[in-house]
Amino acid sequence: MGTAQQSLVIGLDIGSTTVKAVVIDRSSYEILWSDYQRHHTKQPEKVLELLRAIGEKHDVIGCPIFVTGSGAGPLGEPLGAKFVQEVNAVSLAVERLHPDVRSIIELGGQDAKIIVYKEDQHGNKTANPSMNDKCASGTGATIDKCMVKVGAEPGFATSLHFSTHALHHVAAKCGVFAETDIVNLVKTGVPKDEVLNSLADAIVLQNLSVLTRGSTLKAKVILLGGPNKYLPFLQECWRLRIPETWRDRGYEPPAGIPLEELIFVPDNADLYAAFGAACYGISLGADDARYMGVDRLVDFMANGRRARLGDKAGPPLAANEAERLAFVDSYKIPKFAPPKLGPGDVVRGVIGLDGGSTSSKAVFVREDGEIIAKAYQLSKGNPIVDAQDLLTSIRDQVTAQGATIECIGMGATGYAADVLEEVALADVNIVETVAHMMSAVHFFGDVDVICDIGGQDIKVLFMKNGDIANFKLSNSCSAGNGMLLQAMADQFGIDVRDYAETAFGAALSPVFSYGCAVFLDTDRVNFQKEGFQKEELLAGLAHVLPKNVWQYVVQIPRLASLGRKFVLQGGTQYNLAAVKAQVDYIKERVPDAEVFVHPHTGEAGALGAAFETLRRFQRSNTTRFIGIEGVLALDYETRNDESTTCHFCPNECSRTFIDTKRPDGSVSRYISGFSCEKGTVESNEAMLEIVKLRKQTAAEFPNMLNYEARLAFQHFYEPEPLPASGTMIDDIEVREGLLRIDRRKIRRPFERSHRDLSRVRVGMPRILGMYSEAPFFRTYFEALGMPKQNVVFSDVTDEPMWLEGSRYGSVDPCFPAKAAQAHIHNLLFHKHDPAKGRALNFIYYPLLNYVPNFVTDTMDNVACPIVSGTPAVMKAAFTKEVDFFAQRSIEYIDAAASLEEPNYLMRNMYDTWGHRLGITRDESDFAVRQGLIALKAFNDEVQAKGRAILETVEAENGIAILVLARPYHSDPGMNHGIPEEFQVLGYPILSIRSIPKTREYLDRYFKDELETKKIGSPLEINHIWPENYQTNSTARVWAANFAAHHPNVAVLDLSSFKCGNDAPTYGLIDKILSTSRTPSAALHDIDANKPGGSIKIRVKTYAHSLRLHEERLDDVARRKLELELSIDRKRLELLEGKQRQLAAMHRRDERIDTALDAVRARIRSYEVAFKPEAPIADPSPKLVQIRRRSASDLVTA
C-alpha cells in the first residue's frame, strides 16, 4: 500500500441539490482538496466528475472513502464507500474543529438540522439533533425558488443585508405556503429586498420555534450549509433573533466575545458534512471501505440502476402506441380558430377576464355567444397591467382584420376581479368557482362534476339541477397541481408543452406518494437517485394528479356516486399526460363515465365571466364598463411603503395602494394586502365608520361564537357568599372498611378558614378546554373570595402574541395546542407584573381529562388527549432549561380536574387548592358547586340566544350558519375570522353550544324518528355513531345531525390541521349532511397562518350556494302557502256545494256554517299575505333581527 493510501481519506456529501467532496490528510485532518457543485439531479454523474478531478490531483486508489447525505444511499456500494449518517458527519466535523460550539444550525437543500449539545454532570456532551424531515419548512430549495420568484439578479442576494425595517408575513411552515406568500408579495409590488428579508426572518423564526424543540441555542452557534454560508442577510437574521431568545430565557453568552464570533459561519461551511464523513472514517479505521476507482460507478450508472427498478415501478401512461394514439385523437384539444372577420365589421360583444394567480386570460365573446378572440399571459403581478396587456391583445386581434369592437360589457373573475370592478367598473365580478361552473354548463349542459386544475389550485364542483351543489378546493395544503407539473418539467429543462410527449415515452413510472408537493419533490429526488429517467418521472407525476384530486382534495372514494358526466378544465388539461391519467382514473372507477375536456380549457373562467356579463347585458341592456380604450388609458400609481402600512391593529399589514385615474378624470383607489376590513381604509374616521358598520351588522346578525368566547372569560355570574362558620349543612359521612363502604347522611356545621384571598392572583391560559370550562374556574376562585380582577386570563390569541411566545414548544401538534405556549408566555411576561403590584401567585392550567356532554348515550366523555396533555407539555417546555415559574415565584399547577364527575371534582379541587390557599374542604366544595352553577348559567345563556336566532330564521325563512367546530374555535385567533366573513354577509352564526338542548325545543325536529321509536331522544347519536367517547367529536356529530333536521340551518365545518379527533368524523358528517341535503362548507386543516385567498374563494362560493338555498326555502314557503290557499278554496267550494245540497233537501247543518265562516276568514287572511304576482325575493341578504323574548319564551316582534 502506498503512502497516499495510508494518509488520505475521501469524504463525499451527496445532498439533494449539491455534491461536496474533500480529500483530507488522516493525521493532520488538513483538507488537501475540496469542491462543491450543484448536481442538477444528476448525482452519480457529478460524483464521477468530482472523483475524476480528485484522481487528477491525488493518487487515491485504495484510500478509505466515506459518503454521507440524502443522496448517498445507493452510491455507497458502487463506490466501495461506507455510509455515514449526515448529522453524525456534521457533528463529528464540528466536534473536531470547534470543540467550544454548543449549537449547530445547518440549512440544506431539502432539510434543516439543528443540533444542540447537552452536557451531563461529568462534562460529557451529548448531541441532541432535530431535523425537519416531516414538513418542509424553510430550506435551501425554498430559498432558491423564492429567489427566482422575486427576480433577484445574480449577486443581489449575496450582497443583501438584513433589516427589520419592513417585514411582511411569510408562512415558512411549509415551502409551498412560503412560495405562495412570496408570489403575493411580489404581485403587490413589495421590493425584493423586503421580500427576501421577510423570507429570511420567517425561516429563522420557524426554525427557532419548531426545530429547536424549545431548546435554547447556546453560544457558540455555528451556521452551516449553503444558504447560511452564501446569504449574509440570513446570517444577520440569525444574529438578531438568537440573542433575543437568550434575553428571554436569561441565558448569558460567554462574555467578551463579539456577536460575529458567538454566532459564526466558518470557512468551508458547506464542506462540513463531507469533512465529517472522512473524520468518521478515520475514527473507525475501517478497512472495508476502500475506493477502487470509478469503474464500478460507471457500470452502476449504465446498468445497475435500471436493473432494480422494475419491481417497484408502476405502469406507463399508455399500454402501447395504439392506445396512446387513440387517446390523443379523441382528447386533443382542437386549435382555436377564430371566426373570420371582414374589414369594416363591427363586432358587438363582451370581455371576460380571469386574473389568475399564475396566469391571466381574457376572451371576447360576441353577442351571439361565439368566441371571437382569446388572450393569455403569465400574470405580471399588477392586475391593471395584466388587464391592459390582455385587452390590447384582444383589440389587436380584431382590428388586425379590419374590424372594430363595440364592447357592451366586461366581466371579471379571479384575484384581479376586485380591482377591475373598482377601477374599470366591470359589470360582473364573480368568484372563480361560479365562473367555471357557468362555462362548463354552457358547453356541456347537464354536467355532474367539473374538475378545474389551475396553476396553484384544484377546484372540483359537484352539480345538481344545473347549479353547484357542493365543491371542494385544494390549497389549504399544497397538494399537487399544475405548477407541480410545470416545476417538474422545468427541472428537466423540458418545455411544459412537451411534457405529454416525453411522459408518454416512458415504459414504466415510479409510484409517487400523493399529497404535499414538497414530499413529492423529496420522492422525485429519491427516484432519481434510484435511477428513474426523466420521462418516467414525468409519467409518474402525471399519475399522481388524479390521486391528489380525488383522494387528497375531494375525498370521495366512490366516484360513481357523483354522477357520470365529468368535465375537465383549467390550463393543466393542455397536458395530455395529465388528462390521460385523469381519464383512466375516472373510468376505472366509473366505467360508464363520460369524461370531457373543455374546448377552451385554459379560458374556462374568463368565458364564464363573459357569459354572465352577456346574460346581465341582455337583461338590463346597460353597462357601466369604461370600455377597452378606457382601460388602456388608465393612469395608475402603485405604492407600497411605510405610508401605506395599516396601523389600525397590531398586525401592521403591509398594504399596496393602487391609485387610478380614468380617462374621464374620475379617480379611485384600490387597496390590497390587508388581512381584515380595517385595512380597506386610510383615515381614522373612515376606520371608525367601518367599525361602526361592523358593530351594527354584528348586532343584526349575531355571532354566537364571538359571544360565547367573550362570555366564557367574563365575570357574569355572581357567586353566593360563603356560608357563615357554623351554619348547619347536610353532608354524607363515608366509612371505609376493608371490604365495604358505608355512607350515612349527617348534619353538621360548615367549617370556615376565614382566609383572606383578596391579594391572591391566579393566571389561567385562554386556550383549548378553557373555552368550555373557564366559567367554572373563574367562579370557583371568586366564590372563595378572590376579587374578580385577580382571576386573570391570558389575552385572546393573535399574531403578535403567537410570534412573541412561540419559541418554547418541543412538539408540533395542532395549532390550538401549540398556541398554548404563547398564552403561558403571555401570562409570565405580561400578566405577571410585580412592579405594578400585579404579581401572579399561581398559573393554573388544569388537566381536563373528562368533560361533560349533553349527548345522552355516549360511551364515555373524554377530552382530546392533546387538550388534556398540553398542560404537562407546557410544564416541560417552561421548566426544561430554565424554570420560568420559579424565577418569578409563581407556582405552576397542572392538576387533573374531571368536570363530568362533580363529587370527584370536589376531591380534585380540594386536593389541589386546599393546602395552597389554606381553605377548608367545605369552602372548596361550596366553591365547586358555585362553579358548576355558573357553568350551567353560561350554557343556558348561550342557548337562550341561540334559540332566539333559530326561531327568528325559521319565522323568516332565513338561514343561520351553524359552525361545527371545537369550543376553542371560538377564539378569533383560531378561526381566522372565517365565521365573521359570513356574518358580514348577513347570516347569523350559531355555535354548537348555542343550540337549545331541551326536549321541549328539539322533539319537533325529530318527530318522525321519535314516533317510530327509531330513537328514544333527540339527544342520542348511537344510531349514527356508536364510537362516541370523545365529548367534542360527539358534539360535532350530534350538531351535524341537528342541522340535518333543521330546514333553516346551514353548516360551516371548521377543523384544525392535525386534529386527530375530528378526522374520523369527516366522512360521517359529510354523510349526515349530504343525506339531508343540508348546505355545508368545510375548512379543515386550519393552521397558524391564515390562507386569505383560500378563505375568500370558499366564502364567496359558499355564499353563492347559500343564496340559492335561501331562494329555494323562500320558494318552497311560498308554494306551501299557495297550496294551503288552494286547498282552502277547494274546501270552500265543496262546503258550499254541500250546503247547497242540504238546502235543496231543506236541511241545514250549523257545523257547515261554522266551518264555512272559518274557511272564508282564512282565505281572506291568506290573500293579504300571499300575492302570487310578487317577484321572487331579492337574493341579497335579508336582515335577520333578534327580537325580544317574551315571558312565554316565544320570540315576539
Q: Which C-beta is closer to another protein: that of 699 or that of 1134?
A: 1134
CB of 1036 to another protein, least distance (A): 13
Q: Which C-beta is closer to another protein: that of 332 or that of 1071?
A: 1071
By CB under 8 A, is residue 792 in contact with another protein? no
Residue 115 contacts by C-beta under 8 Å, 6 or more apart in sequence? 87, 90, 91, 94, 103, 104, 106, 127, 128, 129, 130
By CB under 8 A, is residue 124 in contact with another protein? yes
Q: Which C-beta is closer to another protein: that of 11 or that of 411?
A: 11
**Contact string (CB under 8 A) for another protein, positions 313-352, x = contact:** ----------------------------------------
Angle at 487 between CA 302 and CA 605, to 5 degrees: 145
By CB under 8 A, is residue 864 in contact with another protein? yes
What's the rounded Cα separation, in Å, for the pair 900 and 854? 11
CB of 1071 to another protein, least distance (A): 5
Q: Which residue stretch of 121-129, 246-254, 768-776, 837-845 sits at the interface with another protein (rule: CB under 8 A)?
A: 121-129
Q: Of 188, 1030, 1089, 1094, which one interacts with another protein (CB under 8 A)? A: 1030
- Can you spell out the DSSP letters for 404-443? EEEEEEEEEEETTHHHHHHHS--SEEE-HHHHHHHHHHHH
Q: Of 73, 80, 304, 723, which one interacts with another protein (CB under 8 A)? A: 73
By CB under 8 A, is residue 1025 in contact with another protein? yes
Q: Of 519, 596, 854, 1001, which one interacts with another protein (CB under 8 A)? A: 519
Of 1027, 997, 696, the closest CA to residue 854 belongs to: 997
By CB under 8 A, is residue 1045 in contact with another protein? yes
φ and ψ at residue 431, rounded to 5 degrees: -70, 150
Sign of CA pseudo-dihedral 569, 574, 578, 582: positive
CB of 50 to another protein, least distance (A): 22
CB of 475 to another protein, least distance (A): 15
Report the amino acid identity of residue 328: V
Residue 153 contacts by C-beta under 8 Å, 6 or more apart in sequence? none
By CB under 8 A, is residue 740 in contact with another protein? yes
Q: Do 766 and 742 contact (CB within 8 A), yes or no?
A: no
Size of the chain in residues: 1197
By CB under 8 A, is residue 763 in contact with another protein? no
Q: Which residue stretch of 623-631, 688-696, 787-795, 1008-1016 sits at the interface with another protein (rule: CB under 8 A)?
A: 1008-1016
β-pair partners for 113:
106, 131
Q: Interface residues for another protein in 164-223 (CB under 8 A)?
A: 213-215
Q: Do 1170 and 927 contact (CB within 8 A), yes or no?
A: no
By CB under 8 A, is residue 1135 in contact with another protein? yes
Q: How many CA atoms lie within 13 A of 573 on its CB side?
A: 24
By CB under 8 A, is residue 776 in contact with another protein? no
Q: ω into residue 220 within 30 of 0, thus cis?
A: yes
Q: Of 1008, 1167, 1178, 1193, which one interacts with another protein (CB under 8 A)? A: 1008
Q: Which C-beta is closer to another protein: that of 14 or that of 709?
A: 14
Q: Interface residues for another protein in 540-579 (CB under 8 A)?
A: 547, 551-552, 555, 557-558
Q: Of 896, 1010, 1108, 1195, which one interacts with another protein (CB under 8 A)? A: 896
Q: Interface residues for another protein in 827-856 (CB under 8 A)?
A: 847, 849-850
Q: Of 1024, 1095, 1177, 1195, which one interacts with another protein (CB under 8 A)? A: 1024
Q: Which residue stretch of 97-105, 484-492, 961-969, 1029-1037 sits at the interface with another protein (rule: CB under 8 A)?
A: 1029-1037
Q: Of 1047, 1093, 1107, 1186, which one interacts with another protein (CB under 8 A)? A: 1047
Order of strands, edge to edge, in the sheet holding 960-964? Answer: 989-990, 960-964, 1049-1056, 1080-1086
Question: Would you give the distance in Å from CA 658 to the centre of its chain?
Answer: 28
By CB under 8 A, is residue 879 in contact with another protein? yes
Q: Of 302, 322, 739, 1174, which one interacts with another protein (CB under 8 A)? A: 739
By CB under 8 A, is residue 1123 in contact with another protein? yes
By CB under 8 A, is residue 900 in contact with another protein? yes
CB atoms within 10 A of CB 852: 18
Report the amino acid identity of residue 145: K
Q: Of 119, 260, 261, 940, which one interacts with another protein (CB under 8 A)? A: 119
By CB under 8 A, is residue 811 in contact with another protein? yes
Of 1005, 1018, 998, the closest CA to residue 1049 belongs to: 1005
Question: Would you give the distance in Å from CA 1125 to the centre of its chain?
Answer: 50
Of 402, 398, 406, the closest CA to residue 375 belongs to: 398
Q: Where are the alpha helices (DSSP H) in 223-299?
A: 226-230, 232-248, 259-262, 272-284, 295-299
Q: Which residue stretch of 83-91, 230-238, 564-572, 652-660 sits at the interface with another protein (rule: CB under 8 A)?
A: 83-91
Q: By three-state DSSP, how is residue 347 classified?
A: strand
What's the rounded Cα separation, in Å, for the pair 269 and 225? 6
Q: Of 34, 41, 88, 486, which one interacts with another protein (CB under 8 A)? A: 88
Task: Provide the pairing of β-strand 8-14 with 65-68.
Answer: parallel
CB of 1092 to another protein, least distance (A): 22
Q: Do 1091 and 174 contact (CB within 8 A), yes or no?
A: no
By CB under 8 A, is residue 1130 in contact with another protein? yes
Residue 570 contacts by C-beta under 8 Å, 6 or more apart in sequence? 451, 452, 453, 454, 459, 482, 601, 602, 604
Q: Which C-beta is closer to another protein: that of 52 or that of 1007?
A: 1007
Residue 205 contacts by C-beta under 8 Å, 6 or more apart in sequence? 172, 241, 803, 806, 807
Q: What is the CA radius of gyration of the chain?
A: 35
Q: Which C-beta is closer to another protein: that of 188 or that of 1028?
A: 1028
Question: H or E element: which one contains 620?
Answer: helix 604-620
By CB under 8 A, is residue 736 in contact with another protein? yes
By CB under 8 A, is residue 1178 in contact with another protein? no
Q: Of 402, 466, 865, 1016, which one interacts with another protein (CB under 8 A)? A: 865
Question: H or E element: which one contains 530?
Answer: helix 517-530
Q: Interface residues for another protein in 412-431 (CB under 8 A)?
A: none
Q: Interface residues for another protein in 655-674 (CB under 8 A)?
A: none
Q: Of 67, 609, 863, 1052, which one interacts with another protein (CB under 8 A)? A: 863
Residue 592, all three cell numbers: 360508464
Q: Interface residues for another protein in 1066-1095 (CB under 8 A)?
A: 1066-1068, 1071-1072, 1075-1077, 1084-1085
Q: Which C-beta is closer to another protein: that of 1008 or that of 1193?
A: 1008
Q: Of 247, 745, 1171, 1188, which one interacts with another protein (CB under 8 A)? A: 745
Q: Which C-beta is closer to another protein: that of 372 or that of 851?
A: 851
Tracing cell 437574521 back to the chain, one arrives at 237
Task: Provide the pairing of β-strand 565-569 with 263-264.
Answer: unpaired
Q: Do 138 and 203 contact (CB within 8 A), yes or no?
A: yes
By CB under 8 A, is residue 127 in contact with another protein? yes
